[in-house]
């Protein structure tokens, strides 16, 4: 998010200032951006998230044009789609409602009966499934790591300074932040500050005396190889159990899930729960796709969502009381695909004082103070 905001800001000809990106861990080993599953979907249940994803897909599919650099790679979305499976009338109702919203916004989502799912994807066990929802346009995997690399590289080329340091405090003068303190002992005067600190976003907010209802929540990812690969790419299948799984390569697949208790954790706790693979993930996979009885686990890791406990949606823009302090937090598992739209939006807010290309006001930080959640019914 920090690199996206930096790049979008510097490419705007109306911007006359300077950009400093402060990053304490330039290897990014623990950043959500490194531990992500890097997928994009259009199947959200709120208009602002759908529109942010539509721009995310446009950006990725036209990456070289946006980068304005012949050396930039082609990284189109691998559009195997997401397939939501409903086993209850309540879930089917949500899928129908989302479908109506998505169709109105031009998303190619199709509702599928179990027979229609079986016709396209004969490898599922659909026992108990009553409805599916699938969209194979601009929905699937994209190379988020490369997007991140280019945001960094091009922001530097446009003049952004990057410093290896940790923000330790903010100097607040009334309704403004006037300086940022670093663990190097430096104090940096600033015209505006953007909080892009991921799971440590609440620590930065607290430095200005503000509460941000975001906490680190563990998410496990497992890459496994199938002895008998499936005949077609596996859509990112959201099982009613909460597990999701998708193709990751010709023979490999990626599954993800939350711990059973899904409690907040310490921001530096990345311990893996290996039992969950044997006890929960593998049995659920094999029940849904019987060919996954014969698989080998290749690798696994734990990452953190920056989980917004109010509504699991992003928290964006200037704080109403400290007007040059901008939030870019709380992405709760769908931030990477929105990073082009969010970076563009925040740069517009910083330079022009308004959301211009896409109205992101539904995600504004003011809803936190007003306790006005924006419920996203299609959270993964």
Ligand X SMILES: Cc1cc2nc3c(=O)[nH]c(=O)nc-3n(C[C@H](O)[C@H](O)[C@H](O)COP(=O)(O)OP(=O)(O)OC[C@H]3O[C@@H](n4cnc5c(N)ncnc54)[C@H](O)[C@@H]3O)c2cc1C
Nearest approach, Cβ of 310 to ligand X (angstroms)?
Answer: 16
Site for ligand X in 292-311 (CB under 6 A): 303-305
Residue closer to ligand X (CB basis): 15 or 28: 28
Establish if 235 lies at the interface with ligand X (CB under 6 A): no
Establish if 5 lies at the interface with ligand X (CB under 6 A): no
Size of the site for ligand X (CB under 6 A): 34
Binding mask 251-270 for ligand X (x = CB under 6 A): -----x--------------
Looking at the DSSP assignment, which residues form a beta bridge with residue 110?
Answer: 134
Pick the piece of the chain touching ligand X (CB under 6 A) from 27-35, 156-164, 258-266, 317-325. Answer: 27-35
Of all residues in the shown chain, the one whose CB is closest to ligand X is 335
Residue closer to ligand X (CB basis): 303 or 318: 303
Site for ligand X in 36-55 (CB under 6 A): 36-39
Collect all residues with Cβ–Cβ distance below 8 Å to 335 and sequence separation of at least 6. 1, 32, 306, 314, 342
Angle formed by the axes of helices 144-157 and 2-10, to 10°?
40
Site for ligand X in 157-176 (CB under 6 A): 166-167
Regarding beta strands 315-318 and 252-257, do their DSSP bridges make them parallel or antiparallel, or are they unpaired? unpaired
Nearest approach, Cβ of 130 to ligand X (angstroms)?
Answer: 26
CB-based burial label for 226 (10 Å; 0-12, 13-18, 19+) = buried
Establish if 326 lies at the interface with ligand X (CB under 6 A): no
Establish if 288 lies at the interface with ligand X (CB under 6 A): no
Pick the piece of the chain touching ligand X (CB under 6 A) from 58-66, 95-103, 330-338, 357-365. Answer: 330-338
Establish if 196 lies at the interface with ligand X (CB under 6 A): yes
Q: Are 311 and 376 in contact (CB under 8 A)?
A: yes
Task: Give the span between the Cα atoms of 54 and 62, in whole angstroms.
Answer: 12
Select the residue interacting with ligand X from 25, 74, 211, 228 (CB under 6 A).
Answer: 25
Establish if 365 lies at the interface with ligand X (CB under 6 A): no
Nearest approach, Cβ of 368 to ligand X (angstroms)?
Answer: 17
| b (16+ CB within 10 A) / e for 309-336 | ebbbbbbbbbbeebebbbbbbbbbbbbb
The alpha carbon of 108 is separated from its chain's Cα centroid by a whole number of angstroms, namely: 21
Establish if 242 lies at the interface with ligand X (CB under 6 A): no
Q: What share of the chain is helix, strand, coil (3-state, %, to 5)?
A: 30, 25, 45
Residue 259 to residues 70, 276, 304, Cα–Cα distance (Å): 43, 8, 11
Nearest approach, Cβ of 32 to ligand X (angstroms)?
Answer: 4
């Amino acid at each position: 998010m920090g690199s996206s905001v930096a790049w979008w800001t510097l490419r705007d000809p109306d911007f006359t200032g300077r950009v400093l990106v402060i990053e304490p861990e330039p290897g990014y080993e623990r950043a959500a951006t490194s531990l992500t599953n890097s997928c994009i979907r259009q199947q959200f249940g709120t208009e602002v998230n759908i529109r942010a994803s539509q721009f995310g897909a446009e950006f990725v599919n036209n990456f070289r044009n946006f980068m304005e650099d012949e050396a930039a790679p082609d990284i189109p979305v691998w559009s195997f789609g997401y397939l939501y499976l409903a086993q209850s009338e309540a879930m089917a109702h949500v899928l129908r409602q989302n479908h109506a919203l998505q169709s109105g916004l031009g998303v190619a989502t199709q509702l599928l009966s179990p027979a229609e799912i079986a016709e396209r994807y004969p490898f599922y066990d659909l026992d108990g499934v009553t409805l599916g929802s699938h969209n194979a346009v601009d929905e699937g995997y994209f190379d988020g790591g490369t997007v991140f690399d280019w945001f960094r590289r091009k922001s530097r080329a446009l003049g952004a300074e990057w410093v290896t340091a940790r923000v330790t405090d903010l100097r607040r003068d009334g309704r403004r932040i006037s300086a940022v303190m670093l663990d190097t002992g430096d104090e940096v005067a600033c015209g505006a500050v953007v909080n892009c600190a991921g799971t440590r976003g609440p620590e930065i907010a607290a430095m200005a005396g503000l509460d941000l209802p975001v906490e680190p929540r563990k998410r496990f990812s497992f890459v496994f190889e199938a002895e008998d690969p499936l005949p077609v790419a596996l859509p990112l299948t959201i099982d009613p159990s909460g597990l999701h799984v998708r193709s990751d390569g010709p023979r490999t697949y990626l599954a993800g899930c939350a711990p059973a208790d899904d409690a907040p954790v310490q921001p530096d706790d990345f311990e893996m729960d290996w039992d969950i693979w044997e006890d929960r993930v593998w049995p659920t996979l094999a029940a849904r796709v019987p060919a996954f009885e014969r698989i080998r686990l290749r690798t696994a890791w734990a990452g953190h969502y920056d989980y917004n406990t109010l509504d699991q949606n992003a928290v964006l823009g200037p704080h109403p009381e400290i007007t040059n302090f901008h939030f870019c937090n709380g992405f709760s598992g769908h931030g990477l695909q929105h990073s082009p739209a969010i970076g563009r939006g925040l740069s517009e807010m910083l330079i022009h004082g308004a959301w211009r290309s896409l109205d992101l006001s539904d995600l504004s930080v003011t809803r936190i103070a007003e306790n006005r959640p924006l419920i996203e019914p299609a959270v993964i």
